[in-house]
Amino acid sequence: MEFQSFDHLEVELYDYVNWLNNYRIHGTLGYMTPAQYRQEALKKLSDLLLTIQILGGLDIAVGNALAEIQAQEEKE
């Protein structure tokens, strides 16, 4: 393919990259487009971080409860 100008090259390259990332499915990505795969990966990461945050909050609550129990035991 020959390009009539640098602008023509830019347009064709943009169209190709857009097609490659948003329309072409990839077997190695579970038959999703790269854009879909990225969205799924970001959702999984977000869910994991939320779980870690929740569990971290539980760890703090358990730690506080244990500290209170230990303080009560020391008073007795």
Q: Which pLDDT value is given to residue 74?
A: 75
Q: Is residue 24 part of a domain?
A: yes
**CA dihedral in degrees (47, 52, 58, 63; nearest 10)?**
180
**pLDDT single digits (tens) 26-71:** 999 999 999 999 999 999 998 888 887 777 777 776 677 777 777 7
Domain carrying residue 38: 6-75
Task: Say how many domains are in the chain.
Answer: 1
What tokens does 52 get?
A: 């870690």
Mean pLDDT rounded to a whole number for the chain? 87
**pLDDT single digits (tens) 15-38:** 999 999 999 999 999 999 999 999
Q: Which pLDDT value is given to residue 76?
A: 65
What b/e sequence results for 26-38 when a residue is b if at least 16 CB atoms lie within 10 Å of its CB, and e otherwise?
A: eeeeeeebeebbe
Q: Is residue 45 part of a domain?
A: yes
Start-to-end Cα distance in the chain = 87
Q: Is residue 1 part of a domain?
A: no
